[in-house]
Amino acid sequence: MAAHANQDMTQRKPKIKKEGAKRHLVAFAASIILTILAFVAVAYDVVPAGFTVPFIIFLAIVQAFFQLYVWMHLDQKGHEFPRVGIYAGIFVIAFMIFTFVYWVW
Would you tell me which residues interact with other proteins (CB under 8 A)? 1-2, 4-5, 12, 81, 85, 88-89, 92, 95-96, 99-100, 103-104
Given the complex with other proteins, which of 12 and 22 has the nearer CB atom?
Answer: 12
Q: 3-state class of 13 per DSSP?
A: coil
Q: How many residues does the chain have?
A: 105
**Secondary element (H or E) of residue 56:** helix 52-66
Given the complex with other proteins, which of 13 and 22 has the nearer CB atom?
Answer: 13
User: Residue 50: left if φ>0, alpha if ψ -120 to 50, beta else—which one?
Assistant: left
For the bound state, the minimum distance from the C-beta of residue 46 to other proteins, rounded and expressed in Å, comes to 32
For the bound state, the minimum distance from the C-beta of residue 78 to other proteins, rounded and expressed in Å, comes to 10
